[in-house]
Structure 1
Amino acid sequence: MLGLITALALATAAPQPTIVQKPIPFPKARKEQMAAYAQRHYGIDSYRLRDPKVIVEHYTVTSTFQQTFNTFAPNNPDPELKELPGTCAHYVIDRDGTIYQLVPRSIMCRHTVGLNYTAFGIEHVGMSDGDVMGNKRQLAASLRLTRWLQCRYGIQTKNVIGHSESLSSPFHTERVERLKQQTHGDMTRATMRTYRSRLRPC
């Protein structure tokens, strides 16, 4: 009974935003590749995302949602790290504020080296931090989605990070030597200070 009351309280505090389901193919082979990746990089023999602690914000470096979907849907080795499975994110937020879910929250996605085992990935269609932060509809949708995930999974605001902050996360873990300092420059610390300041507590 207490669990039900808590769940209802969280739902009231942060109602689920409207989410459009647009799944990318994630068949058995891709799951097996994700499990093998998790074993190599984290020592975890599973493709399951269990007990997530982090939300990582990204931008896509594309101008449309369809371009982003077309990048994530094929299960091809990524051009940067040359690994399988292909890269992906759990959610993509379009320029008009539409939230698309590409992958179930129970499955790991390859979006941030060192954190895929414990992080949801949220992509924003755009070319820069300024594109995201300057688009009122996209930013409002992003904050609604992030806050809902925070409240649902008990993720602290300090663990809502930009991709550029990945190395400073206390949850960052990487077993492959050449990747221990690998990160990207999207959603900088300065940008994320502003973003985090707009997240209301659960």
Structure 2
Amino acid sequence: MPLAAMPPIVHDPIPFGDKRVAETRAYAVRHYGLNRARLIAPKVIVEHMTAGPTYASAFNTFAADAPDVELHELPGICSHFIIDTAGKIHQLVSLKWICRHTVGLNYTAIGIEHVGFSEAGVLDNTRMIRASLRLTEWLQAKYGISDKNVIGHNESLSSPYHEERVARLKRQTHQDWPRKFMVKYRARLK
């Protein structure tokens, strides 16, 4: 796969210091049996919706490093990238670190958030979908990730890379980017 051109990316890092690295390592041990905080040779790209109206609201949620409201554990949730409604790509976390965005896949997945409440809204927003596809295609080329491993959060349980050691979370997923929207998204990848 030839390397696609890197799209314009604004670097807006959230705090990811020693404390968060240690929390991420402890998370990886608990959930995957891996004693590392590093994202090594990612195999999956997971598309998400912020379920919020602004880039700032998503950034603040991820930067807080607070126990999440759903699973109540640390590190706080985060994503590597957020694409705002104007189509600007923001990188929050270096691709060298695991981010907590998809139960069962964080150890091998890159997370991309889209600001908004609906997948149709992203697909119909020319600037946003163009930026999303460019970012995804660049990441695919950089890491050799096939189209079938570009998934929506809702498709996480069907990924061959899904692995979860915590029994109560083995079937946990979210509703964003279900298959009906991801079929359309994947069809637009080059």
* TM-score (normalizing by structure 2): 0.99
Q: Deviations over 1:71-111 (max 9, x none)?
A: 10011000000010000000000000000000000100000
1:10 aligns with 2:12: no
Find the counterpart in structure 1 of residue 108 from structure 2: 118
Stretches of structure 2 that go unaligned for 5 or more consecutive residues are none
Query: Matches of 1:41 and 1:120 in 2, distance apart?
Result: 17
Query: Matches of 2:31 and 2:54 in 1, distance apart?
Result: 31
Aligned residue among 155, 172, 181 for 1:182? 172
Find the counterpart in structure 2 of residue 193 from structure 1: 183
Rg comparison, structure with higher value: 1
Stretches of structure 1 that go unaligned for 5 or more consecutive residues are 1-8
* Structure 1 residue 10: Cα displacement: 3.0
* Structure 1 residue 132: Cα displacement: 1.1
1:58 match: secondary structure? strand
Aligned residue among 3, 10, 33 for 1:20? 10
2:185 match: secondary structure? helix
1:149 aligns with 2:135: no
Aligned residue among 135, 139, 155 for 2:125? 135
Q: Deviations over 1:97-136 (max 9, x none)?
A: 0000000001000000000000000000011111211111
1:10 match: secondary structure? coil
Find the counterpart in structure 1 of residue 41 from structure 2: 51
Aligned residue among 61, 65, 74 for 1:84? 74
Instruction: State, as a whole percentage, how many aligned pairs show the same letter.
Output: 58
Query: Matches of 2:120 and 2:180 in 1, distance apart?
Result: 11
1:62 aligns with 2:48: no
2:2 match: secondary structure? helix
Query: Matches of 2:111 and 2:153 in 1, distance apart?
Result: 9
Q: After the TM superposition, which parts of structure 1 deviate over 6 Å for at least 4 consecutive aligned residues?
A: none
Task: Report how many residues are paired.
Answer: 190
Counterparts in 2 of 1:152-163, with a 5 A limit? 152-163=142-153
Aligned residue among 75, 87, 92 for 2:65? 75
Alignment check: 8 A CA contact 1:59 1:132 kept: no
Residue type of the alignment partner of 2:91: Q
Query: Matches of 2:125 and 2:53 in 1, distance apart?
Result: 13
* TM-score (normalizing by structure 1): 0.93
